[in-house]
Amino acid sequence: MIASITRGTYRSEDDGDDTDDETAADDAPGPADGSSATLTGDDLVLGYPDADQPVIDGETITAAQGEVTALVGPNGSGKSTLLKGLADQLTPDAGSVLIDGEDIHTLDTKALARKLGLLSQESTSPDSITVEELVYHGRYPYRGFFEHVTEADECAVDNAIDLAGCDHLRDRAVGSLSGGQKQLAWIAMVLAQDTDVLLLDEPTTFLDLHHQLEVMDIIETLRDERDITVVVVLHDIEQAARHADTVVALRDGEVKACGPPEEVVTEELLVDVFGIDAEVDSTDRGPRVTPLAARHDDPSI
Ligand code: ADP
Ligand code: MG
Protein backbone atom coordinates (compact mmCIF):
# COMPACT_ATOMS: atom_id res chain seq x y z
CA MET A 1 0.00 0.00 0.00
CA ILE A 2 1.21 3.46 -0.84
CA ALA A 3 0.40 6.08 1.69
CA SER A 4 2.05 9.23 0.46
CA ILE A 5 0.90 10.11 -3.00
CA THR A 6 -0.32 13.65 -2.58
CA ARG A 7 -1.41 14.72 -5.98
CA GLY A 8 -4.87 15.52 -7.13
CA THR A 9 -7.79 14.11 -5.26
CA TYR A 10 -5.90 10.95 -4.49
CA ARG A 11 -5.77 10.30 -0.77
CA SER A 12 -3.92 7.45 0.83
CA GLU A 13 -5.90 4.26 1.21
CA ASP A 14 -5.66 4.44 4.96
CA ASP A 15 -7.18 7.88 5.28
CA GLY A 16 -10.06 6.40 7.19
CA ASP A 17 -12.59 7.42 4.61
CA ASP A 18 -14.09 4.10 3.74
CA THR A 19 -17.60 4.82 4.85
CA ASP A 20 -18.96 4.26 1.37
CA ASP A 21 -16.92 1.23 0.46
CA GLU A 22 -19.91 -1.03 0.04
CA THR A 23 -21.51 1.27 -2.49
CA ALA A 24 -18.34 2.30 -4.27
CA ALA A 25 -18.37 -0.48 -6.82
CA ASP A 26 -22.11 -0.28 -7.41
CA ASP A 27 -22.33 3.29 -8.55
CA ALA A 28 -18.94 3.49 -10.18
CA PRO A 29 -19.47 4.97 -13.62
CA GLY A 30 -17.01 2.62 -15.32
CA PRO A 31 -14.75 3.68 -18.14
CA ALA A 32 -16.07 6.16 -20.65
CA ASP A 33 -19.66 6.07 -19.56
CA GLY A 34 -20.27 9.36 -21.32
CA SER A 35 -21.58 11.19 -18.27
CA SER A 36 -20.65 14.78 -17.72
CA ALA A 37 -21.25 17.68 -15.37
CA THR A 38 -21.16 21.44 -15.04
CA LEU A 39 -18.76 22.75 -12.41
CA THR A 40 -19.45 26.10 -10.76
CA GLY A 41 -17.39 28.05 -8.27
CA ASP A 42 -19.87 30.48 -6.79
CA ASP A 43 -18.64 33.70 -5.16
CA LEU A 44 -15.51 31.91 -4.01
CA VAL A 45 -13.16 33.42 -1.45
CA LEU A 46 -9.94 31.44 -1.27
CA GLY A 47 -6.77 32.11 0.66
CA TYR A 48 -4.11 30.65 2.90
CA PRO A 49 -4.04 30.74 6.70
CA ASP A 50 -0.72 32.61 6.88
CA ALA A 51 -1.80 35.43 4.54
CA ASP A 52 -3.82 38.53 5.50
CA GLN A 53 -5.71 38.87 2.25
CA PRO A 54 -7.48 36.16 0.29
CA VAL A 55 -5.96 35.28 -3.08
CA ILE A 56 -9.38 34.96 -4.73
CA ASP A 57 -11.88 37.38 -3.25
CA GLY A 58 -15.38 36.57 -4.37
CA GLU A 59 -15.13 35.21 -7.93
CA THR A 60 -17.65 33.12 -9.80
CA ILE A 61 -16.59 30.73 -12.52
CA THR A 62 -18.53 28.15 -14.49
CA ALA A 63 -17.00 25.32 -16.47
CA ALA A 64 -19.71 24.22 -18.86
CA GLN A 65 -20.56 20.58 -19.27
CA GLY A 66 -18.47 18.81 -21.87
CA GLU A 67 -16.39 21.87 -22.68
CA VAL A 68 -12.77 22.86 -22.22
CA THR A 69 -12.24 25.94 -20.07
CA ALA A 70 -8.70 27.32 -20.01
CA LEU A 71 -7.39 29.43 -17.13
CA VAL A 72 -4.65 31.84 -18.10
CA GLY A 73 -2.83 34.58 -16.22
CA PRO A 74 0.63 35.60 -15.03
CA ASN A 75 2.55 33.74 -12.33
CA GLY A 76 0.95 34.24 -8.95
CA SER A 77 -2.39 35.37 -10.36
CA GLY A 78 -4.25 32.65 -8.45
CA LYS A 79 -4.80 29.98 -11.11
CA SER A 80 -3.63 27.08 -8.93
CA THR A 81 -5.44 28.49 -5.90
CA LEU A 82 -8.68 28.64 -7.87
CA LEU A 83 -8.21 25.11 -9.18
CA LYS A 84 -7.51 23.79 -5.66
CA GLY A 85 -10.64 25.54 -4.41
CA LEU A 86 -12.71 23.97 -7.19
CA ALA A 87 -11.27 20.56 -6.33
CA ASP A 88 -11.91 20.88 -2.57
CA GLN A 89 -8.20 20.78 -1.85
CA LEU A 90 -8.54 24.23 -0.31
CA THR A 91 -11.62 25.04 1.76
CA PRO A 92 -13.24 28.31 0.69
CA ASP A 93 -13.57 31.06 3.30
CA ALA A 94 -16.85 31.87 1.58
CA GLY A 95 -18.81 30.72 -1.43
CA SER A 96 -19.38 27.21 -2.68
CA VAL A 97 -18.44 24.76 -5.39
CA LEU A 98 -21.23 22.96 -7.17
CA ILE A 99 -21.27 20.02 -9.55
CA ASP A 100 -24.55 20.04 -11.43
CA GLY A 101 -25.97 22.22 -8.68
CA GLU A 102 -24.85 19.90 -5.87
CA ASP A 103 -22.51 21.37 -3.27
CA ILE A 104 -19.34 19.28 -3.28
CA HIS A 105 -19.09 19.58 0.49
CA THR A 106 -22.07 17.27 0.79
CA LEU A 107 -20.03 14.53 -0.91
CA ASP A 108 -17.57 12.34 0.95
CA THR A 109 -13.99 12.08 -0.27
CA LYS A 110 -14.45 9.04 -2.47
CA ALA A 111 -17.76 10.15 -3.95
CA LEU A 112 -16.14 13.45 -4.92
CA ALA A 113 -13.09 11.65 -6.32
CA ARG A 114 -15.38 9.64 -8.59
CA LYS A 115 -16.80 12.86 -10.00
CA LEU A 116 -13.81 15.17 -10.08
CA GLY A 117 -10.09 14.62 -10.64
CA LEU A 118 -7.28 17.12 -10.13
CA LEU A 119 -3.82 16.97 -11.61
CA SER A 120 -2.06 19.53 -9.47
CA GLN A 121 1.34 21.16 -9.94
CA GLU A 122 2.85 19.53 -6.90
CA SER A 123 3.44 15.83 -6.95
CA THR A 124 5.06 13.43 -4.59
CA SER A 125 5.05 9.68 -4.76
CA PRO A 126 7.47 6.99 -3.68
CA ASP A 127 10.19 6.76 -6.34
CA SER A 128 10.18 2.99 -6.24
CA ILE A 129 6.63 2.38 -7.49
CA THR A 130 6.09 1.65 -11.15
CA VAL A 131 4.04 3.76 -13.53
CA GLU A 132 1.41 1.02 -13.60
CA GLU A 133 1.19 1.01 -9.80
CA LEU A 134 0.86 4.77 -9.80
CA VAL A 135 -1.95 4.62 -12.34
CA TYR A 136 -3.74 1.97 -10.26
CA HIS A 137 -3.91 4.53 -7.47
CA GLY A 138 -6.26 6.51 -9.68
CA ARG A 139 -8.75 3.71 -9.04
CA TYR A 140 -8.75 4.31 -5.30
CA PRO A 141 -12.21 5.95 -5.21
CA TYR A 142 -13.75 2.80 -6.67
CA ARG A 143 -12.23 0.37 -4.22
CA GLY A 144 -13.02 -0.61 -0.69
CA PHE A 145 -10.30 -1.07 1.86
CA PHE A 146 -9.94 -4.83 1.44
CA GLU A 147 -11.12 -5.14 -2.13
CA HIS A 148 -8.92 -6.52 -4.86
CA VAL A 149 -8.43 -5.12 -8.31
CA THR A 150 -11.45 -5.72 -10.50
CA GLU A 151 -11.78 -6.15 -14.23
CA ALA A 152 -13.17 -2.60 -14.39
CA ASP A 153 -10.00 -1.33 -12.66
CA GLU A 154 -7.77 -3.21 -15.11
CA CYS A 155 -9.75 -1.89 -18.04
CA ALA A 156 -9.64 1.71 -16.78
CA VAL A 157 -5.90 1.51 -16.10
CA ASP A 158 -5.19 0.04 -19.55
CA ASN A 159 -7.33 2.74 -21.19
CA ALA A 160 -5.70 5.52 -19.21
CA ILE A 161 -2.15 4.33 -19.95
CA ASP A 162 -3.05 3.96 -23.59
CA LEU A 163 -4.69 7.41 -23.82
CA ALA A 164 -1.77 9.08 -22.04
CA GLY A 165 0.63 7.29 -24.40
CA CYS A 166 2.83 5.91 -21.66
CA ASP A 167 2.59 2.18 -22.27
CA HIS A 168 6.34 2.07 -22.89
CA LEU A 169 6.88 3.43 -19.38
CA ARG A 170 4.48 1.05 -17.68
CA ASP A 171 7.04 -1.03 -15.77
CA ARG A 172 9.50 1.76 -15.11
CA ALA A 173 10.00 3.09 -11.58
CA VAL A 174 8.50 6.58 -11.30
CA GLY A 175 11.73 7.83 -9.71
CA SER A 176 13.70 6.93 -12.83
CA LEU A 177 11.58 9.06 -15.18
CA SER A 178 12.27 12.50 -16.62
CA GLY A 179 9.99 15.39 -15.58
CA GLY A 180 7.98 15.08 -18.78
CA GLN A 181 7.65 11.30 -18.50
CA LYS A 182 6.47 11.66 -14.91
CA GLN A 183 3.91 14.17 -16.08
CA LEU A 184 2.47 11.62 -18.53
CA ALA A 185 2.31 9.03 -15.75
CA TRP A 186 0.41 11.46 -13.51
CA ILE A 187 -1.93 12.29 -16.37
CA ALA A 188 -2.61 8.57 -16.80
CA MET A 189 -3.33 8.30 -13.07
CA VAL A 190 -5.93 11.05 -13.13
CA LEU A 191 -7.47 9.58 -16.31
CA ALA A 192 -7.82 6.21 -14.56
CA GLN A 193 -9.88 8.00 -11.92
CA ASP A 194 -12.50 8.17 -14.65
CA THR A 195 -14.29 11.34 -13.58
CA ASP A 196 -16.88 13.59 -15.20
CA VAL A 197 -14.82 16.66 -14.40
CA LEU A 198 -11.07 16.97 -14.84
CA LEU A 199 -8.97 19.85 -13.51
CA LEU A 200 -5.46 20.01 -14.91
CA ASP A 201 -2.87 22.46 -13.58
CA GLU A 202 -0.30 23.20 -16.28
CA PRO A 203 -0.27 19.68 -17.73
CA THR A 204 1.95 20.74 -20.62
CA THR A 205 4.57 22.73 -18.74
CA PHE A 206 7.40 20.18 -18.58
CA LEU A 207 6.67 18.61 -21.92
CA ASP A 208 8.40 18.91 -25.28
CA LEU A 209 6.32 20.19 -28.19
CA HIS A 210 5.35 16.73 -29.38
CA HIS A 211 4.04 15.74 -25.96
CA GLN A 212 2.36 19.12 -25.44
CA LEU A 213 0.34 18.49 -28.57
CA GLU A 214 -0.37 14.93 -27.43
CA VAL A 215 -1.77 16.24 -24.15
CA MET A 216 -3.93 18.83 -25.90
CA ASP A 217 -5.13 16.02 -28.15
CA ILE A 218 -6.05 13.93 -25.09
CA ILE A 219 -7.99 16.87 -23.68
CA GLU A 220 -9.93 17.27 -26.92
CA THR A 221 -10.62 13.52 -27.05
CA LEU A 222 -11.97 13.61 -23.49
CA ARG A 223 -14.27 16.45 -24.44
CA ASP A 224 -15.37 15.21 -27.85
CA GLU A 225 -15.66 11.47 -27.24
CA ARG A 226 -16.39 11.26 -23.52
CA ASP A 227 -18.13 14.58 -22.93
CA ILE A 228 -15.86 15.32 -19.97
CA THR A 229 -15.78 18.81 -18.48
CA VAL A 230 -12.18 20.01 -18.45
CA VAL A 231 -10.64 23.01 -16.71
CA VAL A 232 -7.01 23.42 -17.66
CA VAL A 233 -4.37 25.94 -16.63
CA LEU A 234 -2.14 26.76 -19.57
CA HIS A 235 0.86 29.03 -19.80
CA ASP A 236 0.71 29.31 -23.53
CA ILE A 237 -2.14 31.70 -24.32
CA GLU A 238 -2.18 30.73 -27.98
CA GLN A 239 -2.52 27.07 -27.01
CA ALA A 240 -5.37 28.07 -24.71
CA ALA A 241 -7.05 30.04 -27.48
CA ARG A 242 -6.73 27.20 -29.95
CA HIS A 243 -7.99 24.36 -27.81
CA ALA A 244 -10.41 25.87 -25.30
CA ASP A 245 -14.09 26.68 -25.74
CA THR A 246 -13.86 29.32 -23.03
CA VAL A 247 -10.83 31.27 -21.82
CA VAL A 248 -10.77 32.76 -18.32
CA ALA A 249 -8.06 35.37 -17.73
CA LEU A 250 -6.97 35.98 -14.15
CA ARG A 251 -4.88 38.74 -12.72
CA ASP A 252 -4.23 39.38 -9.03
CA GLY A 253 -6.89 36.81 -8.19
CA GLU A 254 -9.53 38.59 -10.24
CA VAL A 255 -11.29 37.27 -13.31
CA LYS A 256 -10.51 39.99 -15.86
CA ALA A 257 -12.18 38.36 -18.83
CA CYS A 258 -14.13 35.23 -19.58
CA GLY A 259 -15.56 34.06 -22.87
CA PRO A 260 -14.79 32.54 -26.26
CA PRO A 261 -11.08 32.75 -27.17
CA GLU A 262 -11.56 35.31 -29.94
CA GLU A 263 -13.32 37.67 -27.52
CA VAL A 264 -10.89 37.24 -24.64
CA VAL A 265 -7.52 37.02 -26.37
CA THR A 266 -7.08 40.60 -27.54
CA GLU A 267 -4.18 43.06 -27.62
CA GLU A 268 -5.88 45.07 -24.82
CA LEU A 269 -6.18 42.01 -22.61
CA LEU A 270 -2.54 41.09 -23.11
CA VAL A 271 -1.58 44.55 -21.88
CA ASP A 272 -4.03 44.47 -18.96
CA VAL A 273 -3.44 40.94 -17.76
CA PHE A 274 0.09 40.04 -18.84
CA GLY A 275 1.69 43.48 -19.12
CA ILE A 276 2.90 42.81 -22.63
CA ASP A 277 2.55 44.45 -25.99
CA ALA A 278 1.58 41.85 -28.54
CA GLU A 279 0.06 41.56 -31.95
CA VAL A 280 -3.08 39.43 -32.16
CA ASP A 281 -4.17 38.18 -35.57
CA SER A 282 -7.35 36.34 -36.26
CA THR A 283 -6.80 33.02 -38.08
CA ASP A 284 -8.85 29.93 -38.90
CA ARG A 285 -7.30 28.27 -35.88
CA GLY A 286 -8.22 31.12 -33.54
CA PRO A 287 -6.23 34.14 -32.43
CA ARG A 288 -2.48 34.09 -33.19
CA VAL A 289 -0.40 35.93 -30.61
CA THR A 290 2.96 37.48 -31.40
CA PRO A 291 4.50 38.82 -28.19
CA LEU A 292 6.45 42.03 -28.85
CA ALA A 293 7.67 43.56 -25.60
CA ALA A 294 7.20 43.43 -21.85
CA ARG A 295 5.87 46.66 -20.38
CA HIS A 296 7.99 47.94 -17.53
CA ASP A 297 5.43 50.36 -16.14
CA ASP A 298 3.56 47.62 -14.29
CA PRO A 299 5.44 46.56 -11.15
CA SER A 300 2.71 44.14 -10.02
CA ILE A 301 3.49 41.60 -12.72
P1 ADP B 1 -0.57 30.80 -10.10
O2 ADP B 1 -0.97 29.37 -10.11
O3 ADP B 1 -1.44 31.67 -10.94
O4 ADP B 1 0.88 31.00 -10.42
P5 ADP B 1 -1.03 30.60 -7.24
O6 ADP B 1 -2.46 30.32 -7.09
O7 ADP B 1 -0.05 29.50 -7.06
O8 ADP B 1 -0.78 31.37 -8.62
O9 ADP B 1 -0.63 31.73 -6.21
C10 ADP B 1 -1.44 32.88 -5.98
C11 ADP B 1 -0.94 33.61 -4.76
O12 ADP B 1 -1.11 32.77 -3.62
C13 ADP B 1 0.54 33.98 -4.82
O14 ADP B 1 0.70 35.24 -4.26
C15 ADP B 1 1.18 32.92 -3.96
O16 ADP B 1 2.34 33.41 -3.34
C17 ADP B 1 0.12 32.61 -2.93
N18 ADP B 1 0.21 31.22 -2.45
C19 ADP B 1 0.17 30.11 -3.22
N20 ADP B 1 0.27 29.00 -2.45
C21 ADP B 1 0.37 29.42 -1.18
C22 ADP B 1 0.49 28.78 0.09
N23 ADP B 1 0.54 27.44 0.19
N24 ADP B 1 0.58 29.55 1.20
C25 ADP B 1 0.52 30.91 1.11
N26 ADP B 1 0.41 31.58 -0.04
C27 ADP B 1 0.33 30.86 -1.18
MG1 MG C 1 0.10 27.65 -10.55
Count CA atoms closer than 13 A to 117's CA, side-chain side. 25
Ligand 1 atom closest to the Cα of residue 84 is 6
pLDDT of residue 161: 97
Domain residue limits at 34: 21-272
For residue 4, tell me if it sits in a domain: no
Question: How many structural domains comprise the chain?
Answer: 1
Question: Hey, which of 44, 79, 80 would you mutate to test ligand 1's pocket, going by the most ligand atoms within 8 Å of its Cβ?
Answer: 80
Decide if 89 contacts 9 (C-beta within 8 A).
Answer: yes
For residue 167, tell me if it sits in a domain: yes
For residue 296, tell me if it sits in a domain: no
pLDDT of residue 127: 87
For residue 13, tell me if it sits in a domain: no
Q: 55: CA distance to ligand 1 center in Å?
A: 7
Q: 106: CA distance to ligand 1 center in Å?
A: 27
For residue 239, tell me if it sits in a domain: yes
- CB atoms inside a 10 Å sphere around CB 117: 26
Q: 139: CA distance to ligand 1 center in Å?
A: 29
Ligand 1 atom closest to the Cα of residue 121 is 2
Task: Write the pLDDT tens digit of every residue in 117-139.
Answer: 999 988 778 889 999 999 999 99
The residue among 246, 281, 282 whose CA lies nearest residue 261 is 246
pLDDT of residue 298: 66
One-letter amino acid of 168: H
For residue 250, tell me if it sits in a domain: yes
Ligand 1 atom closest to the Cα of residue 74 is 3
- Residue ranges of the chain with pLDDT lower than 70? 1-36, 298-301
CATH number at residue 197: 3.40.50.300
pLDDT of residue 300: 66
Rounded Cα distance, 301 and 298, in Å: 6
Residue ranges lining ligand 1, Cβ < 6 Å: 48, 50-51, 55, 73, 75-81
Q: What SS3 class is residue 30?
A: coil
Q: Where are the alpha helices (DSSP H) in the chain?
A: 21-24, 79-86, 109-115, 131-137, 151-164, 179-192, 209-226, 237-243, 261-264, 267-274
Q: 152: CA distance to ligand 2 center in Å?
A: 33
Residues with CB under 5 A from ligand 2 (ion): 79-80
Query: Whose C-alpha lies nearest to ligand 1, atom 6?
Result: 78
Q: 279: CA distance to ligand 2 center in Å?
A: 26
For residue 165, tell me if it sits in a domain: yes
pLDDT of residue 293: 95
